[in-house]
Amino acid sequence: MRNYRISCSAAKPPNRPGGTALLLDDGIDADGLHMGRMGGFGLFPALALWYQFALLNKRCAMSPLRILLLAILSAAWAVPAISSAEAPRAAHVVLVSIDGLRPEFYLDSQWPAPLIQQMAVEGAHAEAVRGIFPSVTYPSHATIVTGAMPARHGIAYNSPFEPDGQTGRWYWEFDALRSTTLWEIAGEAGYTTANISWPTTVGAPIDYNIPQIWPLDGSIDRVGIVRERENPEGFLAELERGATGALTDQVFRMGDLTLEDRTGAMAAYTLETHKPNFMTVHHVHTDHYQHRHGRDGPMVRRAVAAVDRAIGQMIDAAARAGILEQTTFIVTGDHGFVDIHTQLAPNTWLVDAGLMEAEDDRGDWRATFHTTGAAAFLHLRDPDDASTLAEVRAILDDLPPAQRRLFRIVERDELDAVGTAPAAAFALSPKPGVTVSARATGQPIASAEGGTHGYFPDFDNIHTGFIAWGAGVKSGAVAPIIGMEDIAPLIAALLGLEFETPDGVLYPGLLSD
């Protein structure tokens, strides 16, 4: 199937699947006529093109001879004159994020994940995926769908830094993103898109969208706040009728492992019924239970098994819909996990020095650490306040050696090099086993338990994973390590989308010939 668009200006062609923009005269612009999808060669594309050229004559004042020649050539070729995108290898791509995915879940058969282990063997996989800094959920998911680092896409933390005090809000709204996403590129190409619980999708231009959001007030209906932001209206009710049964706050919440089955059922129903060309799905309990119990807690194994089962629902749905042979499944994650034993509270040092107050709004503050996962980013009320910045550095330099060796300072130039947190003066990344806290009272060092992430992504345990299985994937291909930003260009290539990701690199060796 081809898309044709004809015009008479010199603007750059839009993105089209399979490089399907027909370039006439010198280019394409918003004045072009979009004929939609027309198949290959034959009488009807030729007639459609002739009709479009007739309309074009009125708009571009082209000579009749030129119109005739262009129409004959276009009807004969029925291919774009200029395009950098290749033909699509898959008609459908399902991108599944397992929050807190560790490579051993699919590399080590002792983990209860037989399906994704089979997918890794039959398809392509990476032995590790190097994430972004901070290695936390929302910035990572933004990088996965944009191919951009946080400094570009605008989601630097899980929660935005709020100078007057943190309200508990996260980066839920799509309009916080500053980089183009795969949903947008796919939609512009005429593809259908869908989403189940991916971060930063409230208000996103997604055809079938159940965004991730939760109430700050515990008295507010958790299901209701999602229903208010669904797209299209009534989509969640459709999923309840066709897939999950009635959703209540008791079953649609973190901590109820059956949420993974319901997420899988919603994704499976959407795939079978609406057959989206690009769908994103986010599973959360592998993260939840590693936070509570550490990397190897018994509930972690149950969560891994639940997600493996949910992916099976999606594959079965694709088979029932008759689209399995044209579908690629991408399974990835946002970060690994690290067991913790110690907590560091750097804001207590700033309170003791009079640089902030132990109040919800930080009081009369000049400097504060904004924490996200196991990382802390220094924010100054006045970004140009060199004197306060020097005071903070002096505080850290004067710490007892036993405290100072619990973390390293990630300087501004290093933050720039990894493309993150443009508003921070510098960051603290603790050593593995140590986490940070936003609290501003009590002792600066306390005990901790469970697990966390957020660390600078330069050691094995914080890496996540990647599997590609299905249409267009080279069976048996193994990459020792890829970057998280490299996933978006691979998906674009599978769908035949022209998508110049700002930071990601396409690895063609993971794709079939």
β strands within 333-420, DSSP E: 338-339, 342-344, 367-372, 375-380, 407-410
Q: What's the average model confidence in pLDDT over 429-450?
A: 98
pLDDT tens-place string over residues 319-358: 999 999 999 999 999 999 999 999 999 999 999 999 999 9
Q: How confident is the model at residue 251, as a pLDDT?
A: 86
Share of the chain above pLDDT 70, in %: 83
pLDDT tens-place string over residues 488-505: 999 999 999 999 999 999
Q: What's the average model confidence in pLDDT over 366-384?
A: 98
How many CB atoms are closer than 10 A to CB 387? 9
In terms of DSSP bridges, do strands 367-372 and 451-452 run parallel, antiparallel, or are they unpaired?
unpaired
Question: pTM for the whole thing?
Answer: 0.84
Q: What's the average model confidence in pLDDT over 24-48?
A: 33
Specify the higher pLDDT residue, 73 or 140.
140
- b/e burial code for range 339-355 (CB count within 10 A of at least 16 → b): bbeebbbbbbbbbeeeb
Q: How confident is the model at residue 217, as a pLDDT?
A: 86
Q: How confident is the model at residue 218, as a pLDDT?
A: 75
| 67 sits in which H/E element | helix 64-77
pLDDT value at 510 more than 90: yes
Specify the higher pLDDT residue, 218 or 179.
179
Class of domain 92-148+166-336+467-510: alpha beta
pLDDT value at 32 more than 90: no
Q: How confident is the model at residue 72, as a pLDDT?
A: 44
Q: How confident is the model at residue 254, as a pLDDT?
A: 84
Cβ atoms of 187 and 273 within 8 Å: the answer is no
Q: How confident is the model at residue 250, as a pLDDT?
A: 85
Domain ranges of the chain: 2-77, 92-148+166-336+467-510, 342-448
What Å distances lie between residue 439 and 122, 349, 359, 402, 480, CA to CA?
47, 11, 10, 20, 39
Q: What's the average model confidence in pLDDT over 190-218?
A: 96
pLDDT value at 137 more than 90: yes
Q: How confident is the model at residue 79, as a pLDDT?
A: 33
- b/e burial code for range 398-430 (CB count within 10 A of at least 16 → b): eeeeeeeebbeebebebbeebbbbeebbbbbbb
Fold assignment, 342-448: Gyrase A; domain 2 (3.30.1360)
Residue 253 — very low, low, confident or very high, per pLDDT cuts 50/70/90? Answer: confident
pLDDT value at 8 more than 90: no
How deeply is 24 buried, as exposed, middle or buried, from its count of CB atoms within 10 A (0-12, 13-18, 19+)?
buried
Specify the higher pLDDT residue, 484 or 256.
484
Q: Which two tokens stand for residue 152?
A: 């570009």
Q: What's the average model confidence in pLDDT over 375-390?
A: 98
CA distance 29 to 507: 31
Residue 205 sits at the vertex; the CA angle it makes with 203 and 210, to the nearest 5 degrees, is 60
- DSSP assignment of 175-206: GG--S--HHHHHHHTT--EEEES-SS-BT-S-
C-alpha 155: how far from chain center: 11
Q: How confident is the model at residue 18, as a pLDDT?
A: 37
Lowest mean pLDDT among 43-47, 130-134, 170-174, 311-315: 43-47
Cβ atoms of 145 and 488 within 8 Å: the answer is yes
Share of the chain above pLDDT 90, in %: 80
Q: How confident is the model at residue 195, as a pLDDT?
A: 99
pLDDT value at 65 more than 70: no
C-alpha 105: how far from chain center: 20
The per-residue pLDDT of the chain, averaged, comes to 87
pLDDT tens-place string over residues 444-491: 999 999 999 999 999 999 999 999 999 999 999 999 999 999 999 999
Q: What's the average model confidence in pLDDT over 183-207?
A: 98
β strands within 150-292, DSSP E: 193-196, 208-210, 278-283
CA distance 195 to 276: 9
| Dihedral over Cα of 124, 147, 215, 265: its sign | negative
Q: How confident is the model at residue 33, as a pLDDT?
A: 29
At what angle are helices 258-274 and 298-320 packed, to 10 degrees?
A: 10
Q: How confident is the model at residue 85, as a pLDDT?
A: 66
